[in-house]
A = this chain, B = another copy of it.
């Protein structure tokens, strides 16, 4: 069964929701529903595929951050939020094409959603094209500061990846890189955990670590390796780069820096520890061997932000 859709004439009056009575998608074989399902249940967009975003807040975040909307899908339950979402969309540069506002039933929506209690609103956004330059210079507001880049090098949990991007934005990072093999920052779970930060912060995905290290060197960005195992008793790891004292070393670190965060269990790849200008770890007490990766990264970013603020 084919999707039926009526393209609305632009002359229709713009009463709340009234002007948008497009026919409802009622077939689960509809190509749009299939695209939404893939995007909302996958592990992040393949090359040239759109970012799938679910829920009122995240859809609004995507629009506000200026991402180009490929399609908006609304079910009966989400209908009451449509007018507001379209208002936000109308203020963006790209706007929203009416024939890309799609409707379906709550039941079919539940069949494509990635959450257990879907809000009935989802969107497909074109993946933004960020360059290393964006990641080093930051979003509009940050331009002028030295680069503060968080590099996710092997984190497997999309929740941790999203949490780190959320903290990165909160503490004024200029951008983020997720190296090859890291959970995708634009996967549905990471997007949710980022609370929208993954849609705002310049993010590079899938870079090979040697390539990234070489580029950072050319750009004169210092590489800091976040390592576990800081002890209050002052004992240090035997090998690797110089271990910086935390947080004192970050107090007047105004140069461009990239903090590398490793895999939750295995830590950072050896090549990163070798290439790093410094290693840093957070002192802990008790029988704790390491902090949650999201917490550790957030603490480092927090102290870096504080140091920069103090030295202003």
Seen from chain A, the residues whose Cβ lies within 8 Å of a Cβ on chain B are 61, 64, 139, 141, 159, 163, 166-167, 169-172, 193, 195-197, 200, 282, 284-292, 294-295, 298-299, 302, 305
Contacts and interface: CB of A to CB of B under 8 A. Distances in A.
Contacts of A302: 282, 299
Contact of A167 (B64, B141, B172, B291): B291
A288 B170 contact: yes
Contacts of A288: 166, 169-170, 195, 197
A196 B286 CA distance: 11
A286 B195 contact: no
Contacts of A305: 285
Contacts of A282: 170, 302
- By Cβ-Cβ distance, the 6 closest A-B pairs, closest first, are A170-B284, A170-B288, A169-B286, A295-B298, A163-B292, A172-B285
Given A169-B288, A171-B285, 12 more contacts: A159-B159, A166-B292, A167-B292, A169-B287, A170-B282, A170-B284, A170-B285, A170-B288, A171-B284, A195-B288, A295-B295, A298-B298
Nearest to A290: B195
Contacts of A172: 285-286
B200 A166 contact: no
Contact of A295 (B163, B285, B286, B287): B163
A290 B169 CA distance: 11
A282 B171 CA distance: 10
16 contacts: A141-B286, A163-B292, A163-B294, A167-B295, A169-B286, A169-B287, A170-B286, A171-B285, A195-B289, A197-B288, A291-B298, A294-B294, A294-B295, A295-B298, A298-B299, A299-B302
A196 B287 contact: yes
Nearest to A285: B172
Nearest to A292: B163
A282 B61 CA distance: 22
A294 B171 CA distance: 16
Contacts of A292: 163, 166-167, 193, 195, 294, 298
A295 B171 CA distance: 12
Contacts of A295: 163, 166-167, 294-295, 298
A87 to B, nearest CB: 18
A57 to B, nearest CB: 9
A41 to B, nearest CB: 17
A282 B301 CA distance: 13
A306 to B, nearest CB: 8
A290 B289 CA distance: 27
